[in-house]
Structure 1
Amino acid sequence: MKIFFSFLLIVVTLRNSKCAKILGVFPVPARSHCILGNSLMKGLAERGHDVTIITPYTEKNLPKKGSYKQIELTEFEGLHDRRRTKMNIFEMEETTPFLFIPFVLQLMTEITEEVLNHTNVQKLLKSGEKFDVVIIEQFMNEAHKGFATHFNAPMILLNTIGANIWTNMLVANPAPTSYVPDLFLSYSSHMTFRERLTNTALYVYCYILFHAFNFPQHARLYNEYFPNSLPYYDALYNVSLVLLNSHPSLNQPVPYVPNMIDIGGFHVQPTKTLPHDLQKFLDESKEGVIYFSMGSNLKSTELPPKTRNAFLNTFAKMKMKILWKWEEDVLPGQPKNVKSGKWLPQQEILAHPNVKLFITHGGLLSTTETIYHGVPVLAIPIMGDQKLNAESIVNEGFGLSLGYKEISEQTLTQKLDELLNNPKYAKNAKKRSEIFHDRLVGPIETAVYWVEYVIRHRGAPHLKVAGVDLPWYKYMLLDVIGVIFIALVFSSYLVYKVTKKICSLCSKPKVQKVKRS
């Protein structure tokens, strides 16, 4: 039945659409973001569309259909690597969101201007090209909304994570702080009073930060690089659709307005053949394999010797084999049961039946892939959404979490013993995988359908809620609350005055008349 509906959607899509010219703007110099941007644009090209993508990385595995033109942000990868060498991300693990968010905002403001000022981007802006729709990665790069206004095309946002404040604000999506935790907090939907207080404080802090500082900074860039376009704030809220890299199997359920669509897992591709050495290693590991990777931004080689040795000593005591993504040629003190590799095909590894556990940083792509393949998890979150993902993993019962500062031979042994010997984690992982796969159509088909829907309906303005047009004080009902408050104060004052008058009358002594004889 699912295959039938997928086929039907493809047929309907092909019949109701024609080749469209689509521009994709995916400027974040991080491999995980690049994977998502390329996956969406390649999916559109495979449907026969004429795709142009602005990207820091060159895609070598080009789609066989359609047209796929790359405008490479040359030198961006090197620039990112130079920024990266100035910091050890592991040391940011304890950074409070109140400091981390301004850091990311400033970094993305710099990257946003570097994109707009890039020679290849300037050539595109002056080329006179026409596009039917512009898809922009939404990651604190507000000035890039100018690409849509410059090319007079509907704007679609791709949010590489689930719904959050910097997307919700643009489409008037409600996110009650009573049960929707901020992206950078490791809270569940069922928060304590203290957590709700912190969550609300962070929401207000971010709201002020965006409106008082971030939006004005990007307004300056927008007006400089798109001087003849729509006014900045008109462009900012002119969002036709938001594609979210989320799904109920991956994220806590939250409210969505009609123009927000879940496509979580759209980057997951059918598994390919493993390299011979990896295939042999996995096939011969009948006792099982633990796969260990900290993703593309975090590097295992940056682990301090004490932490690295805690892993090595723990692994050396185990009968299972370990496959570790280690970014250098030599892993010091490598036990016999550990195999390392600078790069490893993660999806193909997780798909192998002998892989029993995934030790991960808890990034959304890694979390998505482990859920897709139904593999239990030990999450070691460091920053960003990783702590929220780790909390979700624990709450859903298909893994455990271990704080970076808590890593020791003892804590690792305890966590691994629990995960490998208690069958509930593997069972719950398989259940989450079933939920992930139980869809009417696949996520990339869903994404393609909605992009073409926006094109067919010229921006689909009928999907937008009226809240987008309201000033912030009306959206939050502050004017209504203010009137009610004044009415209550005035009513209370009247009641007080009337009560005081009555009491004063009642308290006066009665004058007794004296009878005269």
Structure 2
Amino acid sequence: MKAILIYLGILQCFALSVNGLKLLCVFPLPARSHYILGNELAKGLANLGHEVTIIAAFEENNPPKGYRSVWISEIMEFKEASGKQPNMFEMENMSPFLQMIFLPTVTPPLSEMIFNSTKVKALLNSNESFDAVIVEQFFIECMTYIPYHFKAPLILFSTIGANRWINNLVANPANPSYIPDILLSFGSDMTFYERLYNFVFDIASDLVLYQYVYPKHNTILHKYFPNAPHLSKLQYNASLVLLNSHESINQAVPHVPNMIDIGGFHVNPPKELPEDLKDFMDNAKEGVIYFSLGSNLVPSNMPQEKKNIILKVLGSRKEKILWKWNEDQLENKPSNVMISKWFPQQAILAHPKCKLFISHGGLLSTIETVSLGIPVLAFPIYGDQKLNAKRIDAKGFGIAITFSQITEQGLRDALEEVLDNPKYLENAKLASRIIHDRPIKPIELADYWIKYVVRHKGASHLRVAGLDLPLYKYYMLDVLACVFGGIALLALLLSKLSKKILKTRSIMSQSKQKKN
């Protein structure tokens, strides 16, 4: 019997070695939320038997077997040395047009830093090979050179689901009549003004991409790799797109065949809470409200007036409060509030005493609260948070309120509504059932499609024909010009004909008058 077990173990190890792939993940952005997703993807794939290398700005302290980190520490050092980071609370009312212009200007220096990195140079100059390369898509287009260098299929990963930046690269349709841009806070049923704004924003965003982002990254690419193909040959060659999205959270939108939703893959079975937290939550007779504004917003930067309102309202609640706070002390902290610079968020949301999540509307937090079936009160500030909050409101598992317009009475009313009205909890549980109702786990779905792409040598049969069309053909500008030109010509001919007929009638009328 023992010999059989040993034999089966050997077979299992052999199967893993046969099925396991060598994968490279490129997630270099110095943003903790982006890294969390890239790192969870890398660890999840490593746990499924692959050999995974990740290029990142952060380091994993507890790597699983088969996981290797290429940690570019100078990225975070550069970010910290660049001076005081902007107060994002002051950016709440920034115009979407300014955000659209600002975001792409941040990443070119980062891209150059990556290509200049000693560790990345060593990797590129090594004799290593990879079966596929997964690149985060977020204004680092020149990184699509890396899979070309290793002669491996390009797999793009979108941390924010389907959006304009990823749709353009795979010719995925996104009708602006019902799909708002990710930087706007519109619902799917837009008014005339919202559709007009969305349409104009759509055109302006594409102009920024085609006139600035793509040319800029093409220039960076050829600065370091003069013999590389033009960027357009690389970035439009994605074999697969993995999307951090799901219909339980995001709007249902079209996907071309190589776009796969894996939203929720980073949510793991909840771990045991630390003893102090466990006691705090277990002994909360009226339940617990969890309050976190994510990894990018700095809570102590919020205006004093708003902080005082929040402290007063939360301090008057019967529930206990867990507040993720970035400092050791919180002035005037109520007795029912516990603060910490870090909380095990998923474990807290999974606890039966957790009644509400006060969030900034970040996508990771939204996915986690939906996965664990907890209602939300959202204070969206920046980027995609406003669109996420709009969807939270529309799907009925929470309420979104404008942070800069928070009043004491307004906050009290919002808390009472979402905590006392059972529909929010019911809708949260419904969304949770939907996100879990899948044939396989999302990380296993990613694993299947990555293997599929490698198995079929890039799976070019999933590529839609729209990618091979020039813009004027894709948007049928020549056809529209022909149609509207024809209509204009016909209108001109009819106008001239009608004038000629009127002139002829006038002459005939005058001739009759003379005869009479």
- TM-score of Structure 1 vs Structure 2, range by shorter chain: over 0.9
Name the CA distance, whole Å, in 1 between partners of 2:386 and 2:513.
84
**What's the CA shift string for 1:121-155, capped at 9, x where partnerless?**
11111113211111000001111111011111110
The aligned residue for residue 55 of structure 1 is 56
Name the CA distance, whole Å, in 2 between partners of 1:500 and 1:304.
69
The aligned residue for residue 3 of structure 2 is none
The aligned residue for residue 342 of structure 1 is 341
The aligned residue for residue 151 of structure 1 is 150
Name the CA distance, whole Å, in 2 between partners of 1:132 and 1:281.
48
Q: Is the 8 A contact 2:161 2:245 kept in 1?
A: yes
Q: Which runs of 5+ in 1 are unaligned?
A: 1-10
The aligned residue for residue 469 of structure 2 is 470
Once the two structures are TM-superposed, the CA of residue 270 in structure 1 deviates from its matched residue by 0.8
TM-score normalised per structure 1? 0.94
Q: Is the 8 A contact 1:149 1:230 kept in 2?
A: no
Distance 1:59 1:513, change over 3 A: closer
The aligned residue for residue 228 of structure 2 is 229
Once the two structures are TM-superposed, the CA of residue 16 in structure 1 deviates from its matched residue by 12
Distance 1:134 1:375, change over 3 A: same
The aligned residue for residue 38 of structure 1 is 39
Q: Secondary structure at the match of 2:238?
A: coil
Q: How many residue pairs get matched? A: 501
Distance 1:16 1:456, change over 3 A: farther
1:295 aligns with 2:294: yes
The aligned residue for residue 362 of structure 1 is 361
TM-score normalised per structure 2? 0.94
Name the CA distance, whole Å, in 2 between partners of 1:129 and 1:313.
59
Name the CA distance, whole Å, in 2 between partners of 1:509 and 1:466.
60
Distance 1:98 1:76, change over 3 A: same
The aligned residue for residue 5 of structure 2 is none
The aligned residue for residue 119 of structure 2 is 120
Name the CA distance, whole Å, in 2 between partners of 1:436 and 1:207.
32
Q: Which runs of 5+ in 2 are unaligned?
A: 1-11
Once the two structures are TM-superposed, the CA of residue 83 in structure 1 deviates from its matched residue by 4.7
What letter matches 2:159 in structure 1?
Answer: T
Q: Is the 8 A contact 1:17 1:456 kept in 2?
A: no
Name the CA distance, whole Å, in 2 between partners of 1:115 and 1:411.
46
Once the two structures are TM-superposed, the CA of residue 168 in structure 1 deviates from its matched residue by 0.7
Name the CA distance, whole Å, in 2 between partners of 1:70 and 1:16.
20
What letter matches 2:227 in structure 1?
Answer: N
**What's the CA shift string for 1:243-283, capped at 9, x where partnerless?**
00000001011111111110111111111110000001000
The aligned residue for residue 24 of structure 1 is 25
What letter matches 2:215 in structure 1?
Answer: P
What letter matches 1:356 in structure 2?
Answer: K
Q: Is the 8 A contact 1:17 1:452 kept in 2?
A: no
Once the two structures are TM-superposed, the CA of residue 505 in structure 1 deviates from its matched residue by 2.8
Q: Secondary structure at the match of 1:256?
A: coil
| Match runs of 1:273-284 below 5 Å | 273-284=272-283
What letter matches 2:480 in structure 1?
Answer: I
The aligned residue for residue 84 of structure 2 is 85
The runs of at least 4 aligned residues of structure 1 exceeding 6 Å deviation read 14-17, 512-515
Q: Secondary structure at the match of 1:203?
A: helix
Once the two structures are TM-superposed, the CA of residue 82 in structure 1 deviates from its matched residue by 4.3
The aligned residue for residue 255 of structure 1 is 254
Q: Secondary structure at the match of 2:358?
A: strand
What letter matches 1:482 in structure 2?
Answer: A
Once the two structures are TM-superposed, the CA of residue 228 in structure 1 deviates from its matched residue by 2.6
Once the two structures are TM-superposed, the CA of residue 178 in structure 1 deviates from its matched residue by 0.5
The aligned residue for residue 243 of structure 2 is 244
Distance 1:436 1:512, change over 3 A: closer
The aligned residue for residue 178 of structure 1 is 177
Q: Secondary structure at the match of 1:200?
A: helix
**What's the CA shift string for 1:45-100, capped at 9, x where partnerless?**
12221211101111122224xx2111001132233344573311111111111111
Name the CA distance, whole Å, in 1 between partners of 2:368 and 2:204.
33
| Match runs of 1:187-202 below 5 Å | 187-202=186-201
1:267 aligns with 2:259: no
1:397 aligns with 2:396: yes
Q: Is the 8 A contact 1:289 1:320 kept in 2?
A: yes
The aligned residue for residue 351 of structure 1 is 350
Name the CA distance, whole Å, in 2 between partners of 1:248 and 1:161.
13
Q: Is the 8 A contact 2:16 2:49 kept in 1?
A: no
The aligned residue for residue 134 of structure 2 is 135
What letter matches 2:465 in structure 1?
Answer: A
In angstroms, what is the RMSD of aligned CA positions? Answer: 1.9
Name the CA distance, whole Å, in 2 between partners of 1:255 and 1:192.
21
The aligned residue for residue 421 of structure 1 is 420
Q: Which protein has greater RCO, CA pairs closer than 8 Å, 6+ apart? A: 1
What letter matches 1:204 in structure 2?
Answer: I
Distance 1:16 1:263, change over 3 A: farther
1:218 aligns with 2:217: yes
Higher mean Cα deviation, 486-495 or 27-36? 486-495
The percentage of counterpart residues that share the same residue type is: 50
Name the CA distance, whole Å, in 2 between partners of 1:469 and 1:102.
28
Q: Secondary structure at the match of 1:509?
A: helix
Q: Secondary structure at the match of 1:359?
A: strand
Once the two structures are TM-superposed, the CA of residue 367 in structure 1 deviates from its matched residue by 0.3
Q: Secondary structure at the match of 2:491?
A: helix
What letter matches 1:43 in structure 2?
Answer: G
The aligned residue for residue 7 of structure 1 is none
Name the CA distance, whole Å, in 2 between partners of 1:182 and 1:232.
25
Name the CA distance, whole Å, in 1 between partners of 2:341 and 2:463.
46
Name the CA distance, whole Å, in 2 between partners of 1:23 and 1:280.
42
The aligned residue for residue 321 of structure 1 is 320
Q: Is the 8 A contact 1:292 1:359 kept in 2?
A: yes
Distance 1:50 1:429, change over 3 A: same
Q: Secondary structure at the match of 1:357?
A: strand
What letter matches 2:32 in structure 1?
Answer: R
What letter matches 1:343 in structure 2?
Answer: W
